[in-house]
Amino acid sequence: MTVQIDHALEEIRRFRPSPEFAAQAVADDGLYEAAKADRVGFWADRARELLTWEKPFTRTLDWSNPPFAKWFDDGELNVAVNCLDRHVEAGLGDRVAIHFEGEPGDSRDITYAELTDEVKRAANVLEGLGVGEGDRVAIYLPMIPEAVVSMLAVARIGAIHSVVFGGFSSDSLASRIDDAEAKLVITADGGYRKGRVFPLKPTVDEAISKSAGSVEKVLVVKRTGNEVGVEAGRDVWWHDTVAGASGEHAPKAFGAEHPLFILYTSGTTGKPKGVVHSSGGYLTQAAFTHKNVFDLHPETDVYWCTADVGWITGHSYVVYGPLANAATQVLYEGTPDTPHPGRWWEIVEKYKVSILYTAPTAIRSFMKLGRQIPHQFNLRSLRLLGSVGEPINPEAWIWYRHVIGGGSIPVVDTWWQTETGAIMISALPGITDLKPGSAQVPIPGISIDILSDDGTPVEGEDGGLLVITEPWPSMLRGIWGDPERFKETYWEKFGDKYFAGDGARRDEDGDIWLLGRVDDVMNVSGHRLSTAEIESSLVAHPWTAEAAVVGATDETTGQAVVAFVILKQSQAEAAQADTAAASEELRKHVATQIGAIARPRQVFIVNELPKTRSGKIMRRLLRDLAEGRQIGDTTTLADTSIMQIISEQVK
């Protein structure tokens, strides 16, 4: 049923859950009531209901030393056992855990019994390579089953993984290896992307040669068979070791607060932060949200989250949430348009995917291609759609629901962050009326507020800054090796409330609308990038004197990186003659230094940057320019005519 409600500025549509969906929904209203009556007790119940504890916890939350929270801290569990062994013991060994689809078209089904066996073997290999409790392991792999196996094998032995997205450069990989002092790197000869082999091992070799020397061993999966160098004594092949290893591995239990992983994410400064997550609290909220937000019926559903394991979405909703819930899922290695633009929909048809979780940027690029492509495939198996990574515009939401979902199935827009570990704001399908464009309501057990800049809560229909007012189980436990930065980044602004960095607005029904980042973090295709990090990369180029980067609105990618660069005098003349070549060189430079995802859409060579009298670059004006808008207020500029000159140059 559709309810149309007039709104002062825009039309808000609301969709009631269908009675059929509501009748079979996993979530129920009681969850909100239970959480409201006793928030901490609610999470204790979830932790007991969803996880298997080797040693039950007696303490739920310790918030005596904020912002350092402890959840379930006297309990012990093994995360890998919770994702694998216990399902096999419960008789689910023959259930498919992973339908793997390689980009070239190779595919393989892996049952829970097989996955458990492979993880045990890999755990034995890791221990044989000298990895133990608390050691860090960097994982730099394509989206292949071995990525999942590696993460779980690391977790099983109580080591800590740091997955680095395969698109990052050797510099980015090296700085992450160094920051975490990783002892082992797990990689592959290469992976398939856009119909080609992209090499990974040479990047690892380069990264290790640049790094400080913590890496002792490299474990290499053979995926593509391309030639790679093997360093004797350091490099070992996965197939030489894992296949022959023992399938017996007795798991140890670790404390609930034992770190499970580090994941680096962009902040407002040049250096990425190593966000640290725990074992018990993280897994509780990942499993709870995966089950309730996606309405998971593990016996019948086929779930597919399209995120790469290099991002938090891949950690929580490809690996830990789905496997803790014994789900059957699709794992796809490649890009959506290889070898044809209908590849995703072909996969949905092939595996009868019932739950699909993806990003608005993907939806918008499919919209551009037109509905005739998905309509060539049978998508009737789909019964729930999810979105994550950036605000989904109502138009894309409606297209997703109608063209992909056939018009009547729920679409959930989920707001969360690397730091929150799991979904924080989302409708619960079957319960909540859905409203396109709004992430809507905090999930049960989560306390959210919107504050004005001075910290007073915003009342009624108004906008401000999004905060989380109470600790939550899957919250980050800190920044690796930098407790001060943890406090400064998230807790300084509003004291004991977690400041998310996002703007938000509440509507007349109390629903939350996310308005994007309020800091210097950009969101490009759902990936977080820091303006400062790209600026320092540009400035590291010998030609660059000064650089300013902004995130400009982009129809497909949400935001796009646009850079303004002043060249050094010595270079200026030569480069000025051919500014197109100079900007191409700088674009390439950023891609090599950070990774292809950071490559600016445009680099404008300019003579000046707009600065205030105190020398601060006014990025707001550059954003106006990059978006082709009327330039805003320039009165605080040291030289008010500067924007005129820059505009001329950019033309």
Interface residues toward ligand WTA, by CB under 6 A:
265, 311-313, 388-391, 413-418, 439, 500-502, 514, 517, 523, 528
Q: Greatest CA separation found in the chain?
A: 74
Nearer to ligand WTA, 93 or 437 (CB): 437
Question: What's the closest the beta carbon of residue 278 comes to ligand WTA, in angstroms?
Answer: 17
Nearer to ligand WTA, 96 or 319 (CB): 319
Nearer to ligand WTA, 241 or 474 (CB): 474
Cα–Cα dist 577/579, whole Å: 6
Contact 138, 239 (CB under 8 A): no
Nearer to ligand WTA, 379 or 424 (CB): 424
CA distances from 380 to 20, 377, 409, 429 (A): 16, 9, 10, 18
Contacts of 640 (CB under 8 A, 6+ apart): 634
Question: What's the closest the beta carbon of residue 425 comes to ligand WTA, in angstroms?
Answer: 7
Paired tokens of 388: 């994550």
Question: What's the closest the beta carbon of residue 540 comes to ligand WTA, in angstroms?
Answer: 24
Question: What's the closest the beta carbon of residue 49 comes to ligand WTA, in angstroms?
Answer: 25
Cα–Cα dist 132/160, whole Å: 9
Question: What's the closest the beta carbon of residue 347 comes to ligand WTA, in angstroms?
Answer: 22
Cα–Cα dist 586/603, whole Å: 7
Contacts of 240 (CB under 8 A, 6+ apart): none
Question: What's the closest the beta carbon of residue 267 comes to ligand WTA, in angstroms?
Answer: 10
Cα–Cα dist 480/495, whole Å: 21
Nearer to ligand WTA, 61 or 305 (CB): 305
Cα–Cα dist 262/478, whole Å: 10
DSSP character for 543? Answer: T
Question: What's the closest the beta carbon of residue 589 comes to ligand WTA, in angstroms?
Answer: 24
Cα–Cα dist 231/180, whole Å: 23
**How, if at all, do strands 544-554 and 2-5 pair?**
unpaired
Contact 391, 583 (CB under 8 A): no
3-state SS, residue 589: helix
Nearer to ligand WTA, 134 or 510 (CB): 510
Question: What's the closest the beta carbon of residue 311 comes to ligand WTA, in angstroms?
Answer: 6
Question: What's the closest the beta carbon of residue 643 comes to ligand WTA, in angstroms?
Answer: 28
Nearer to ligand WTA, 228 or 293 (CB): 293
Q: 261: closest CA among 236, 286, 292, 290?
A: 286
DSSP string for residues in 182-207: -SEEEEESEEEETTEEEE-HHHHHHH
* Cβ atoms within 10 Å of 407's Cβ, excluding its own: 9
Nearer to ligand WTA, 215 or 479 (CB): 479
- Provide the β-strand partners of residue 581: none
Nearer to ligand WTA, 116 or 440 (CB): 440
Question: What's the closest the beta carbon of residue 177 comes to ligand WTA, in angstroms?
Answer: 21
Question: What's the closest the beta carbon of residue 532 comes to ligand WTA, in angstroms?
Answer: 16
Contact 180, 138 (CB under 8 A): yes
Contact 519, 543 (CB under 8 A): no
Nearer to ligand WTA, 169 or 418 (CB): 418
Paired tokens of 444: 């049960």
Question: What's the closest the beta carbon of residue 89 comes to ligand WTA, in angstroms?
Answer: 32
DSSP string for residues in 422-454: S--B-PPTTTSPB-TT--BSBPTT--EEEE-TT
Nearer to ligand WTA, 312 or 565 (CB): 312
Cα–Cα dist 338/319, whole Å: 24
Nearer to ligand WTA, 376 or 447 (CB): 447
